[in-house]
């Protein structure tokens, strides 16, 4: 069954307490050939979705009990990425922005014409069916309603590969630089899989120390350690029958990798403090900004875990390797930012666009999105110009040493980072800003130096 066929079998779910509007929506959508189901409040809507699934949800903001905004939050917290259109007769810019931030696909102000409703539904349905390899532009919406768009042949081929294997149980390893869209690809796999209506759970392996990450992944029993006041399910259990994303898997310690290997092999987890293993049915997707094969060769990543994870390895190219995507991404991010900030969409000058195509984009798509967001705020009602897209461009603003350092590029980079850290009294946030890199990248660099040198630096 294709993704389009799967969606065709799912009804549009209307969550609305006004019986007259229920009838009008059902009649309008039914007249265009859509199957429609109707419920009266958020509780019924969530129960229906969990039992039956839906291809699209139309939900009123003002519902009895839990509001439509709370319903949207519950849906996204469960990992379900079904398109949701919010409706309100008392809508404000703040309400619309909140809905879009929570992952709403569209916001309709009541009253709206039947033609407008059909246009919105048709576009959403079209996006779902058009998100197939072979099209010039692939559009996919993640939880934050940020599109994954591309014209790059290599990325299109990757999407085709992922769509092909999505229906399987294969573990997938997605490699690429920070900000290239690895999590978006993971969600793409989830939404194109039979697990699409089950939880999508993400864990950042770089954000937690080993002890906390272990309890986060596997859970624990009451009394398993000091502070364990009640039983807690781990992420593997929460992702049961769904998908678990292990983000930045390359940061996981060797000891924890060994425990992960057992879960991947046996499909069961041991909560900390428990003697009874728990069976789990989870599709694992791992992402990393490192070259894991090189990490294996360097002894920093277990070979057996690598081969378990890389049943289907893919690499997403950096933004500087796919400059043909700049135009469509700039247009998309500018439109999204204008909607969020209540600004008119006024385009971008040719000079500004040419400049954006020449930048190195060390932060990739995420950096481009931030630049466009800032440019929209600075531009007022006019088009985006050079002064808007070049404002406060990060640079390595450090003094040039009187004596050039000798040795490898790696040593020069290390010395520069340590020198800037010293200038800022060890403050990593300020040092990262001066270096023009993220605090996360700085943390990774310091961890890398510890691994390679086998010792500790004064700041590490």
**How many helices (H) and strands (E) would you count in the chain?**
20, 14
Highest mean pLDDT among 13-17, 376-380, 447-451: 13-17
> What average pLDDT is seen over the chain?
80
Q: What mean pLDDT comes out for the span 220-232?
A: 74
pLDDT digits (tens, 9 = 90+) for 116-173: 888 888 877 765 444 433 333 444 333 333 346 788 888 888 887 887 788 888 899 9
Grade residue 400 by pLDDT with cuts at 50, 70 and 90.
very low
Q: Any alpha helices (H) in 253-360, and if so which ranges?
A: 254-266, 292-297, 303-309, 326-341, 350-356
Res 54 pLDDT > 90: no
DSSP, collapsed to helix, strand or coil, labels residue 223 as coil
Question: How large is the average pLDDT for residues 305-325?
Answer: 91
Give 296-313 pLDDT, tens digit per residue: 999 999 999 999 998 889
Specify the higher pLDDT residue, 445 or 256. 256
Least confident of 257-261, 267-271, 421-425: 421-425
pLDDT attached to residue 322: 92
- The predicted pLDDT at position 94 comes to 64
Q: Is the pLDDT of residue 395 over 70?
A: no
Long-range contacts: 203-210, Cβ < 8 Å, 24+?
A: 203/235, 203/244, 203/245, 203/246, 203/247, 204/247, 204/248, 205/246, 205/247, 205/248, 205/249, 205/250, 205/251, 205/252, 206/247, 206/248, 206/251, 206/440, 206/443, 206/444, 210/253, 210/255, 210/256
pLDDT of residue 413 exceeding 90, the answer is: no
Residue 138 in tokens: 């692939």
Predicted pLDDT at 424: 76
Q: Which residue has the higher pLDDT, 107 or 377?
A: 377
State the average pLDDT over residues 386-398: 63
* Range of lowest pLDDT (37-41, 57-61, 419-423): 419-423
The confidence band for 13, taking pLDDT boundaries of 50, 70 and 90, is: very high
Q: Can you tell me the mean pLDDT for 227-241?
A: 82
- Is the full-model pTM beyond 0.95? no
Query: What architecture is the 153-315 domain classified under in CATH?
Result: 3-Layer(aba) Sandwich (3.40)
pLDDT at 20: 85
Among the listed residues 57, 60, 1, the one whose alpha carbon sits nearest the alpha carbon of residue 34:
57
Q: In the predicted model, is pLDDT for residue 99 greater than 80?
A: no
Q: In angstroms, rounded to a whole number, what is the distance separating the alpha carbons of residues 340 and 338?
A: 6
**Are residues 138 and 159 in contact, defined by beta-carbon separation less than 8 angstroms?**
yes
Q: Which residue has the higher pLDDT, 273 or 323?
A: 323
Phi/psi for 172 (5° steps) reads -120, 135
- Where does CATH 1.10.8.60 sit in the chain? 319-389
What CA dihedral angle connects 64, 201, 137 and 177, to 10 degrees? 140
CATH 1.10.10.60 domain span(s) along the chain = 409-453
The yes or no reply on domain 319-389 and CATH 1.10.8.60 is yes
What is the arithmetic mean of pLDDT over 93-101?
69
Q: In the chain, where does the domain assigned CATH 3.40.50.300 lie?
A: 153-315
Residue 134: the pLDDT is 34
Ramachandran quadrant class, 407 (left: phi over 0; alpha: psi -120 to 50; beta: rest): left
Lowest mean pLDDT among 107-116, 138-147, 202-211, 325-334: 138-147
For the cut 90, the answer to whether the pLDDT of residue 176 exceeds it is yes
Contact in structure between 22 and 16 (CB atoms under 8 Å): yes
Q: Is pLDDT above 50 for 14? A: yes
Q: What is the location of CATH 3.40.50.2300 in the chain?
A: 3-123
The residue ranking higher by pLDDT, 385 or 137, is: 385
In terms of CATH architecture, what is 3-123? 3-Layer(aba) Sandwich (3.40)
Superfamily grouping for domain 409-453: Homeodomain-like (1.10.10.60)
């Amino acid at each position: 069954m294709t993704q389009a066929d799967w969606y065709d079998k799912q009804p549009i779910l209307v969550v609305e307490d006004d019986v007259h509007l229920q009838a009008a929506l059902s009649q309008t959508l039914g007249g265009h050939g859509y199957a429609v189901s109707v419920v009266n409040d958020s509780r019924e809507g969530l129960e229906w979705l969990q039992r039956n699934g839906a291809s699209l949800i139309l939900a009123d903001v003002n519902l009895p009990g839990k509001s439509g905004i709370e319903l949207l939050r519950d849906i996204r917290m469960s990992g379900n990425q079904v398109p949701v259109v919010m409706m309100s007769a008392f809508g404000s810019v703040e309400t619309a922005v909140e809905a879009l931030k929570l992952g709403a696909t569209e916001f309709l102000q009541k009253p709206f014409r039947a033609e407008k409703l059909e246009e919105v539904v048709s576009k959403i349905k079209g996006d779902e069916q058009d998100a197939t390899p072979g099209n010039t532009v692939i559009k996919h919406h993640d939880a934050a309603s940020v599109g994954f768009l591309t014209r790059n042949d290599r990325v299109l081929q990757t999407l085709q590969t992922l769509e092909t294997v999505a229906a399987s149980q294969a573990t997938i390893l997605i490699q690429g630089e920070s900000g290239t869209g690895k999590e978006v690809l993971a969600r793409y796999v989830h939404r194109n899989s039979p697990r699409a209506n089950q939880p999508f759970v993400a864990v950042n392996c770089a954000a937690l120390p080993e002890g906390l990450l272990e309890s986060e992944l596997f859970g624990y029993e009451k009394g398993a350690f000091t502070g364990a006041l009640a039983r807690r399910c781990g992420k593997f259990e929460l992702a049961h029958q769904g998908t678990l994303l292990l983000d930045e898997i390359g940061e996981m310690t060797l000891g924890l990798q060994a425990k992960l290997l057992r879960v991947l092999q046996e499909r069961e987890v041991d909560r900390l403090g428990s003697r009874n293993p728990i069976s789990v049915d989870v599709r694992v997707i791992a992402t990393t900004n490192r070259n894991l094969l090189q990490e294996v060769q360097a002894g920093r990543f277990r070979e057996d875990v690598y081969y378990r994870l890389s049943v289907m390895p893919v690499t997403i190219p950096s933004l500087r390797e796919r400059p043909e995507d700049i135009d469509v991404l700039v247009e998309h991010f500018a439109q999204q930012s204008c909607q969020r900030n209540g600004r008119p969409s006024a385009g971008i000058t040719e000079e500004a666009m040419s400049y954006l195509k020449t930048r190195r984009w060390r932060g990739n798509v995420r950096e481009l999105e931030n630049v466009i967001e800032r440019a929209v705020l600075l531009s007022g009602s006019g088009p985006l110009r050079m002064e808007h897209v070049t404002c406060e461009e990060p640079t390595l603003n450090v003094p040039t040493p009187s004596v050039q350092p000798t040795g490898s590029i790696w040593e020069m980079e290390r010395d520069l980072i340590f020198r800037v850290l010293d200038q800022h009294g060890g403050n990593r946030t300020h040092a990262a800003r001066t270096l023009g890199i993220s605090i996360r990248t700085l943390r990774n660099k310091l961890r890398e130096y510890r691994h390679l040198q086998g010792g500790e630096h004064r700041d590490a």
